[in-house]
Amino acid sequence: MPVGAFFSEILLNGEQMDKIIIEGGRSLKGEVKISGSKNAALPILVSSLLADGWNTYNNVPDLKDIQSIKLLLTGLGARIEEDGSSVRIDAGGLCNPEAPYELVRKMRASILVLGPLVARLKKARVSLPGGCSIGARPINLHLKGLARLGASIELKHGYVEAFADRLTGNEIYFDIITVTGTENLMMAAVLADGITVLRNAACEPEVVALADVLIKMGADIQGAGTSVITIKGVPSLHPASISIIPDRIETGTFMVAAALTGGDIKLLNCEPDHMQTIIHKLRLTNADIKVNNKNIHIIGSNEISSIDIKTMPYPGFPTDMQAQFMVLMSIAKGLSIISETIFENRFIHVSELKRMGADITISGNAAMVKGVPLLSGAPVIASDLRASASLILAGLVARGKTEVNRVYHLDRGYEAIEKKFVKIGAAIKRVRE
């Protein structure tokens, strides 16, 4: 990489260029405590904008993306106090309707403030998030939905400018199932006049978790977790105290680590109900999985079977687990077809896995993964959050040393992941450049 580009990378991301070094080949054993869900915490922290007074959130994960959203909320006028994994937010002083480019470009989920800002301040100026490495990720459905509630929307100089004296309930149909689109419009509708019906809504557990919080704040929401969500506007909401649900993708990532390394791992504080498809698919690969209450016990097999997966909206196989599962299939016995139907460019990890010896051929939105006896360690570069996780997993099972560069991607969505892996016997360490 030319020196100029290298330094612009640091300037652009303002992040330490840490790397993680792994000595592969160890079988992982022990217990892992699962953290709160990033994708539930983000919209839930934003929902604090909808009420005056102190909201209390427990089990909030310590992640770069959570730092980013707290910075953004503070910039909008909210007060934030934190004590470990508990965060308190009071939006009584909400006054600034603008989410600046500097923050939104680093974390596209910032777009979630759009609905609440229009609902509370009657206006919002939010930077367009732009694309990211896994796809163009437009927000047209967020904007179309907000317009259906009566907001006037303009796109100017890379920003969305939205205004509405009063939002009015309406029917909104999502052409494509969108998680944050569903969340954004749900938050916009809770204070609107009249009834809003979201059709073809996302059913993810994180959407249900947000609805549960809004209901605790006094909102009237029916149908969260199904494709039709009905929201009856109320005059105002009051603060609430809640605990963030466990992160199902972190849980799945550690389950794949056990399956990959013939390990024996107990996952604590997780939510097996949110993991049904992942559990089902891992059992088909010969992993032995026992579930009891909030814990999952997984024992990896020495003979991993190849199976096909197709990413789908919840309750289908999650796109956020596709890269991790591909690593498992790369050392399985046989051929696996992995189809990515959610994002148009979510195979970036394939080229790095091939450098470690994986036998993968891409054809359109499908990757054909032919299992090989083993992977070999190599220096690799992370490109996005879940691709980074897949490279860590590959390093755990590869023979020799793997060096994963640009792990700032990883820190966005995994809390102290290398420390959790050390606890279960991995030879892994972080090196600060």
Instruction: By CB under 6 A, tell whether 178 contacts ligand EPZ.
Output: yes
Which of 12, 176, 228, 268 is in the footprint of ligand EPZ by CB under 6 A? 176
Instruction: By CB under 6 A, tell whether 141 contacts ligand EPZ.
Output: yes
CA-nearest of 227, 112, 127, 223 to 176 is 227
Report how many residues bind ligand EPZ under the rule CB under 6 A: 24
- Give ∠ CA 205-210-143 in degrees, rounded to 5: 100
Cα 284 to Cα 7, 259, 278, 287, 392, distances in angstroms: 45, 11, 10, 7, 23
Which of 29, 123, 137, 423 is in the footprint of ligand EPZ by CB under 6 A? 137
**Closest distance of CB 347 from ligand EPZ, Å:** 14
Cα 133 to Cα 240, 348, 367, distances in angstroms: 36, 8, 18
Instruction: By CB under 6 A, tell whether 386 contacts ligand EPZ.
Output: yes
- Closer residue to ligand EPZ, CB minimum distance, 34 or 342: 342
Are 146 and 118 in contact by the 8 Å Cβ rule? The answer is yes
Instruction: By CB under 6 A, tell whether 400 contacts ligand EPZ.
Output: no
**What's the rounded Cα separation, in Å, for the pair 47 and 77?**
14
> Catalytic: which of 95, 132, 203, 270?
132
| CA dihedral (47, 53, 58, 61) positive or negative | positive
For 135, which DSSP code?
A: B
Instruction: By CB under 6 A, tell whether 70 contacts ligand EPZ.
Output: no
Are 76 and 51 in contact by the 8 Å Cβ rule? The answer is no
Which of 27, 35, 39, 196 is in the footprint of ligand EPZ by CB under 6 A? 39
Instruction: By CB under 6 A, tell whether 319 contacts ligand EPZ.
Output: yes
**Closest distance of CB 139 from ligand EPZ, Å:** 5
Count Cα neighbours of 362 within 13 Å in the Cβ-side half-sphere. Answer: 14
Which of 44, 66, 109, 278 is in the footprint of ligand EPZ by CB under 6 A? 109
Which of 35, 47, 180, 230 is in the footprint of ligand EPZ by CB under 6 A? 180
**Closest distance of CB 247 from ligand EPZ, Å:** 9
Owner of token pair 């394939």: 350
**What's the rounded Cα separation, in Å, for the pair 180 and 126?**
15
CA-nearest of 430, 30, 34, 22 to 249 is 34
φ and ψ of 258, to 5 deg: -65, -45
Instruction: By CB under 6 A, tell whether 68 contacts ligand EPZ.
Output: no
The span of 84-92, 131-139, 190-198, 264-272 binding ligand EPZ (CB under 6 A) equals 131-139
**Closest distance of CB 342 from ligand EPZ, Å:** 5
Instruction: By CB under 6 A, tell whether 413 contacts ligand EPZ.
Output: yes
Q: What is the DSSP string of 203-257?
A: --HHHHHHHHHHHHTT-EEE-BTBSEEEEE--S-----EEEPPB-HHHHHHHHHH
Instruction: By CB under 6 A, tell whether 181 contacts ligand EPZ.
Output: yes
Rg (CA), the chain: 22
- Closer residue to ligand EPZ, CB minimum distance, 285 or 311: 311
Instruction: By CB under 6 A, tell whether 199 contacts ligand EPZ.
Output: no
Residue 270 known to be catalytic? no
Instruction: By CB under 6 A, tell whether 85 contacts ligand EPZ.
Output: no
**Closest distance of CB 137 from ligand EPZ, Å:** 5
What positions carry a catalytic annotation? 132
The site for ligand EPZ (CB under 6 A) is made up of: 38-39, 42, 109, 135, 137-142, 176, 178-181, 206, 319-320, 342-343, 385-386, 413
